[in-house]
Amino acid sequence: MHYLNEEHLLVFLGQVLVLLTVAKVLGELCQQRGIPALAGEIFTGILLGPTILGRVFPGIEARLFPHDIAQQTMLETVSWFGVLFLLLATGFEISISTVWKQGKAALTMGVVGIVAPFILGCVLFWWLPERHWGEASDRVTFTLFLATAASISAIPVIARILHDLEILKSDFGLTTLSAFIVNDVVGWLGFTMVLGLAHPHGAGASEVARILFEILLFGTVCMTVGSKVVGAINGKLQATNLPQPGTTLTFICCLGLMCGTITQWIGIHAILGFFLAGIMAGNAPEVSEKTRQTISQVIHAIFVPVFFATIGIKIDFLANVDFFLVLLVTAVAVGGKFIGGWIGARVAGLSKPDILSAAVARIPGGAMEIVLGILALELQLISDDVFVALVFAAIASSVAAGPLLAWSIRRRKRLDIGQLLSRDAVVLEMGSETRWDAIQELCRRVAAALPELDQKAIEKAVRAREEIMGTGLERGVAVPHARLKGLESPVVAFGRSRVGIDWDARDGLPTRFVFLILTPEDEQGIQVQILAAIARIMSGAEVPARLIAAQNEDEAFGLLNEALNLGGLVPNRAPA
Amino acid sequence: MHYLNEEHLLVFLGQVLVLLTVAKVLGELCQQRGIPALAGEIFTGILLGPTILGRVFPGIEARLFPHDIAQQTMLETVSWFGVLFLLLATGFEISISTVWKQGKAALTMGVVGIVAPFILGCVLFWWLPERHWGEASDRVTFTLFLATAASISAIPVIARILHDLEILKSDFGLTTLSAFIVNDVVGWLGFTMVLGLAHPHGAGASEVARILFEILLFGTVCMTVGSKVVGAINGKLQATNLPQPGTTLTFICCLGLMCGTITQWIGIHAILGFFLAGIMAGNAPEVSEKTRQTISQVIHAIFVPVFFATIGIKIDFLANVDFFLVLLVTAVAVGGKFIGGWIGARVAGLSKPDILSAAVARIPGGAMEIVLGILALELQLISDDVFVALVFAAIASSVAAGPLLAWSIRRRKRLDIGQLLSRDAVVLEMGSETRWDAIQELCRRVAAALPELDQKAIEKAVRAREEIMGTGLERGVAVPHARLKGLESPVVAFGRSRVGIDWDARDGLPTRFVFLILTPEDEQGIQVQILAAIARIMSGAEVPARLIAAQNEDEAFGLLNEALNLGGLVPNRAPA
């Protein structure tokens, strides 16, 4: 029987308190400056660990993080909890059906986007000297792993950036996110293979083949039968009298633990199992959004910051910094992904300005690169200095992506968006009560002014897009849209609902302002500008307030026309 | 630098998976039979630990729970997380203002209720032989601790039982719960003193005095300034642009960690700090109910079951069972608390049938007794066999309390509750939109038939009661009530609202059925029966459906009259 003594508990509580508080404060300071919170969280460890505190006040650092096995294990356990459930929560974001409906474009962008940096990485990392390998590694394993890590993307980072730029809901945003999902799945498969190769239990060819076979089988079962079984069980749990959402929480937690145990047992890391469990739970419609949010909130509020902060406690970042290595890894991670994103978007047939934005969006490595890095470090596939370079690349790319993407949109030519809105396409008192009725109501208005198009066809296209992913933004704005064959120039319609319509928006608010955006089929770029312009004018307090107060269609039309003209941006071609 | 290897992680995930799954399933099975889930969770450890699995399949048990320090520490950390945050969540339930408004009755019942079993425990446990003491204990410390543990109560258990019997919202329920809160605070103070006495760092008188002084100072600061500061900080956090409720979650977690670190530093266990932090967060109106629920849900869904399940892993319950000890501890814990509850309720002036119910309600020791026990075991104040006896007493008392309390209510004489409702006091179409208007509307109706009472006085009494604790039940029923001076016999009024009134009910549903219950001031017992009878007829599907369909007052009156007469119960005196 083993009990931790009181000193252990005191130090442990102190550690978690300090790490969590500092990580949250620094993370928040970063986020307010447009930098991902991850950067602040990683810096917490650098600040409190051997790198800075250990140099300046070695006594305090030794007292706060003593070298005692039981003590280190306690913090390590919390940090494991963080990373395992981070992957579970990341899995929630992966919507298989969205990717499926997006089809070829997302698939092409996703696969090309990871293959290009991977090849570049393999070519360059092959020549790195042996001292950078981990103790249990060889040239092939090391090269393959590092190239994979440099190619993987961070879905949460890019989702947040697209959201901040208010273009997450555009077709561009949808395609980009879908491509990222493909990228992640391919990346994890690749990582799995590398792990299979590197497995310590006598890495014979038959052993590698067994691991690969088992993990592919398990993954396939999860993605097909698994999702349905999870949904069915959850439906059953909810139909009973058990207290909700507690029971669902326990169920999802057990699901993660089970998949994690299975993948760990197979010989791949438990982290992949949690990721698969997250995808299953995320794709089961029976698991309510609220339950997923509860899990995500607690994980991100408590465990994830502690995990990232702990990284810097383990490694002296100054002693292990190798500038050549940092430059090389960052160049491959950023440059390789940029090239991959460029080629992928080109092959997928995106418009010229969108290709640049898509390439920039591919850059961030974020949490996923670091997670892969820490796994590789733990399995002794890489040395400390390679890990430090990887962390630097992950953070630098995440920090740079936001401003670069904003710039790629800003540099497009200005467009007089106000002129796209016609006086007849403004409805002040919408009668619709559902979003589908509202779409129909606005489509009917627009169709009257577009004799070249069939009203039914317009409506069908907008509904189809809406079904793939809802277009409700926050603060009561919705932006249903579609690209239409035969349409000559973009058209915008506006409708106001006094009662508010349930558009399934993330913030739960009823939608009071509906903008219908129709663009020509081959001009994808323009949609991003229109959407961004609308989001921008509606994000302030003034325009919505004046729209609510508008007494008649003329007033609303004049107001929107003026505001949109000031906020408009345009692609590199002449305005249509 | 220390890393856990893959084997550690695999075993750890397997442990948590098995413990959590089995604990939840057994806990659920118990709960469906009216037994607290705690019993099932504790049994999980007995089943999977040395007691049963270790005897039947020692190989499997050794493989699942290996004797490795790092491995044990991982599970121990999760279990610590569970117990610390369980106390935080328990603190949420403690409403200082409710106790304050309840005044002397709650205070008397709370203090007498703990002093009586404590004295009984001291007298009996003093004579226990030395082999039952822990290694770091002496006769005084051992006796004082064990007497305290046997006297403490389990707020969550009794709150759930009162809720299941649908009398939580009665004056009896309110007083009982308030008394429990007083009991808990006194109990923890006592425990603190025992810990101060038992402190290992040379337990000199000056050291004990320092600990007591510091903890009292810290506790007082928490309860006065602390709550306000917590509220103010939280208000500020919510006024900023930070993402909610994530920021609040982090804040409350940090608050718990901070208070825990402080109390642990002082020399009392961190668990008291988390409890204080929970009370502070629970009493700050700025901390939303939703945030508290999110924390409670995750804690109870994942960490608490693992904590209770882990207990049985550490101890062989069969080898350490001493029947005489089990009988003695259970007798003191159950009998002492029953006597204390009886005397307390008597001194507080409750009615005769309510005294019996109050005494029975005092019985459950539940989670708190076990938490105190595990702390004492860890500090080597008690031996394993005393701990086993304590666990048995805690579970037995929790299991017995529910059926006994139901019996204490059932044995009261039957009362024709239907006759308390008069035809004139039935309102089918209430015009009120708020609960305060609804109370006024029904009071006005009732006052017309009660010339001996002033309408304003009735309304004031009902509003005052409502303000202490809302009377909204689940499924759209509300039961505002008051005890009135000068009223000769109980009166019930009924109102139906087609629109639904927001009564701040726990399930968030609007209230459609309002029962106003007025009883004579000195007849407390009768209120419990009326409330229980109403809750019983409204918990089925039939009566609410027929009430909604009722076309006129006569139909509704006839329906209620008949249903209430079938479900009525009465105190030991003649019906008024």
Spell out the per-residue pLDDT of chain B, length 576, in tens.
345 677 888 899 999 999 999 999 998 888 888 788 888 999 999 999 999 999 999 999 888 998 888 888 889 889 888 888 988 888 887 777 777 777 788 888 888 888 888 999 999 888 888 888 877 778 888 888 888 888 888 777 777 777 777 777 777 888 888 888 888 878 877 777 777 666 555 556 777 778 878 888 998 898 888 888 888 888 887 776 665 567 888 899 999 999 999 988 887 778 889 988 998 888 887 777 778 888 888 888 888 899 999 988 988 888 888 899 999 999 998 999 999 999 998 888 888 888 888 888 888 887 888 888 888 888 888 899 999 999 999 988 888 888 888 888 777 776 777 778 878 888 888 888 888 888 888 888 888 877 778 888 888 888 888 887 778 877 788 888 888 888 888 888 898 888 788 887 766 678 888 999 888 877 767 887 888 788 878 877 788 888 888 888 888 888 888 887 765 433 332 222
Helix (H, G, I), strand (E, B) or coil at A93: coil
B16/A301 Cβ within 8 A:
no
What does the block give as tokens for A160? Answer: 């947040």
B20 CB within 8 Å of a chain A CB: yes
Is residue A406 domain-shared with residue A421, that is, in the same domain? no
pLDDT at A576: 27
Q: Which residues of A touch B28 (CB under 8 A)?
A: 242, 247
Using one digit for the tens of pLDDT, what is the confidence trace for A57-67? 999 988 899 88
Whether the CB-CB separation of A291 and A248 falls below 8 Å is answered with yes
Containing H/E element for A251?
A: helix A246-266
A80/B4 Cβ within 8 A:
yes
How big is chain A, counted in residues?
A: 576
**Within a domain: B14:** no
Is residue A459 domain-shared with residue A395, that is, in the same domain? no
pLDDT at B204: 65
Distances (CA, A) of A435 to A326, A503, A544, B86, B427: 50, 6, 19, 43, 39
Between A and B, how many CB-CB pairs are < 8 A?
150
Q: Which residues of B touch A10 (CB under 8 A)?
A: 261, 264-265, 270
Please give the distance of CA B513 from its chain centroid, rounded to a whole number: 27
> Cα–Cα distance between A406 and A415 in angstroms, integer?
17
What does the block give as tokens for B455? Answer: 């309408």
**Within a domain: A5:** no
B17/A254 Cβ within 8 A:
yes
Is residue B394 domain-shared with residue B459, that is, in the same domain? no
B254/A21 Cβ within 8 A:
yes
Is residue A498 domain-shared with residue A365, that is, in the same domain? no
Is residue B245 domain-shared with residue B336, that is, in the same domain? yes
**Within a domain: A166:** yes
Using one digit for the tens of pLDDT, what is the confidence trace for A186-237? 887 787 777 766 655 555 677 777 887 888 899 889 888 888 888 888 888 7
A245 CB within 8 Å of a chain B CB: yes
pLDDT at B564: 78
A10/B246 Cβ within 8 A:
no
- Of the candidate ranges A289-293, A522-526, B303-307, the one whose mean pLDDT is the lowest: A522-526
Is residue B526 domain-shared with residue B453, that is, in the same domain? yes
- The residues near A257 (Cβ < 8 Å, ≥ 6 apart) are B13, B16, B17, B20
Domain boundary among A360, A382, A410: A410
What does the block give as tokens for A9? Answer: 């508990």
> Cα–Cα distance between A385 and A388 in angstroms, integer?
5
Helix (H, G, I), strand (E, B) or coil at B135: coil
**Beta strands B511-520 and B481-484: pairing type?**
parallel
Helix (H, G, I), strand (E, B) or coil at A281: helix
> Cα–Cα distance between A468 and B214 in angstroms, integer?
61
Query: Smallest Cβ distance to B265: which of A10, A258, A302?
Result: A10
Is residue B532 domain-shared with residue B554, that is, in the same domain? yes
What does the block give as tokens for A488? Answer: 């000559």
B256-264 contacts: CB < 8 A, separation 24 or more?
B256/B84, B256/B85, B256/B88, B257/A13, B257/A16, B257/A17, B257/A20, B258/A17, B259/B222, B260/A13, B260/B84, B261/A10, B261/A13, B261/A14, B261/A17, B262/B218, B263/B215, B263/B218, B264/A6, B264/A9, B264/A10, B264/A13
Q: Where are the beta strands (DSSP E) in B81-188?
A: none
Q: Does ipTM exceed 0.85?
A: no
Containing H/E element for A495?
A: strand A491-501
**Within a domain: B2:** no
Containing H/E element for A179?
A: helix A171-198
**Within a domain: B10:** no
Using one digit for the tens of pLDDT, what is the confidence trace for A369-422? 888 888 888 888 889 999 999 999 998 888 888 888 888 877 777 677 777 887
Query: Smallest Cβ distance to B17: which of A20, A257, A315?
Result: A257
Is residue B462 domain-shared with residue B381, that is, in the same domain? no
Closest CA to A433 of A500, A481, A496, A495: A500
**Beta strands B511-520 and B477-478: pairing type?**
parallel
**Within a domain: B53:** no
């198009």: which residue's tokens?
A: A453
Whether the CB-CB separation of A122 and A144 falls below 8 Å is answered with yes
Is residue A374 domain-shared with residue A427, that is, in the same domain? no
Query: Smallest Cβ distance to B10: which of A10, A265, A298?
Result: A265
Which 433-472 residues of chain A touch chain B by CB within 8 A?
Answer: none
> Cα–Cα distance between B400 and B366 in angstroms, integer?
11
Q: Which residue on chain B is closest to A269 by alpha carbon?
A: B6
């490795």: which residue's tokens?
A: B68
pLDDT at B558: 85
CATH number of the structural domain spanning residue A352: 1.20.1530.20
B72/A77 Cβ within 8 A:
no
B295 CB within 8 Å of a chain A CB: yes
A205 CB within 8 Å of a chain B CB: no
At residue A47 the predicted structure's pLDDT band, cuts being 50, 70 and 90, is very high
> Cα–Cα distance between B435 and B459 in angstroms, integer?
12
Res. A575: pLDDT tops 50: no
What does the block give as tokens for A102? Answer: 């997006």
pLDDT at B389: 93
Cis peptide before A117 (omega within 30 of 0): no
Domain boundary among B395, B410, B425: B410
> Cα–Cα distance between A72 and B275 in angstroms, integer?
26
> Cα–Cα distance between B112 and B338 in angstroms, integer?
11
> Cα–Cα distance between A275 and A256 in angstroms, integer?
8
Please give the distance of CA B43 from its chain centroid, rounded to a whole number: 21
B292 CB within 8 Å of a chain A CB: no
A70 CB within 8 Å of a chain B CB: yes
Query: Smallest Cβ distance to A20: which of B2, B257, B260?
Result: B257
Helix (H, G, I), strand (E, B) or coil at B501: strand
> Cα–Cα distance between A251 and A255 in angstroms, integer?
6
CATH number of the structural domain spanning residue B536: 3.40.930.10
Whether the CB-CB separation of B530 and B492 falls below 8 Å is answered with yes
A77/B78 Cβ within 8 A:
yes
A294/B253 Cβ within 8 A:
no
Its domain, for residue A469, covers 417-567
What value does the mean pLDDT of chain A take?
A: 83
Half-sphere exposure (Cβ direction) of B453: Cα atoms closer than 13 Å: 28
A136 CB within 8 Å of a chain B CB: no
Q: Which residue on chain B is closest to A20 by alpha carbon?
A: B254
A20 CB within 8 Å of a chain B CB: yes
Q: Which residues of B touch A249 (CB under 8 A)?
A: 297-298, 301-302
A265 CB within 8 Å of a chain B CB: yes
Whether the CB-CB separation of B514 and B554 falls below 8 Å is answered with no
Query: Smallest Cβ distance to B253: which of A77, A257, A302?
Result: A302
- Count of Cβ atoms closer than 10 Å to residue B12 Cβ: 27
pLDDT at A223: 83
Is residue B223 domain-shared with residue B287, that is, in the same domain? yes
Domain boundary among B352, B385, B410: B410
**Within a domain: B27:** no
> Cα–Cα distance between A354 and A409 in angstroms, integer?
8
Q: Which residues of A touch B37 (CB under 8 A)?
A: none
B315/A13 Cβ within 8 A:
no
Q: Which residues of B touch A258 (CB under 8 A)?
A: 17
- Which residues share a beta bridge with A19? none
Mean pLDDT on A288-298: 81
**Regarding predicted confidence, which is higher, A257 or B3?**
A257
Is residue A235 domain-shared with residue A107, that is, in the same domain? yes
B13/A270 Cβ within 8 A:
yes
Q: Which residues of B touch A159 (CB under 8 A)?
A: none
Count of domains for chain A: 2
% of chain A exceeding 90 in pLDDT: 14
**Smallest Cα distance from B18 to chain A, Å:** 9
Is residue B301 domain-shared with residue B164, that is, in the same domain? yes
What does the block give as tokens for A507? Answer: 């913030």
Distance in angstroms between the alpha carbons of the first and the last residue of chain A? 77
Among B8, B16, B17, B20, most A C-beta atoms within 10 A, so best to mutate, is B17
Q: Which residue on chain B is closest to A300 by alpha carbon?
A: B246
pLDDT at B309: 92
**Within a domain: B305:** yes
- DSSP letter at A472 equals B
How big is chain B, counted in residues?
A: 576
Using one digit for the tens of pLDDT, what is the confidence trace for A1-29? 345 677 888 899 999 999 999 999 998 88
Which 313-342 residues of chain B touch chain A by CB within 8 A?
Answer: 314-315
Whether the CB-CB separation of A201 and A195 falls below 8 Å is answered with no
pLDDT at B197: 67
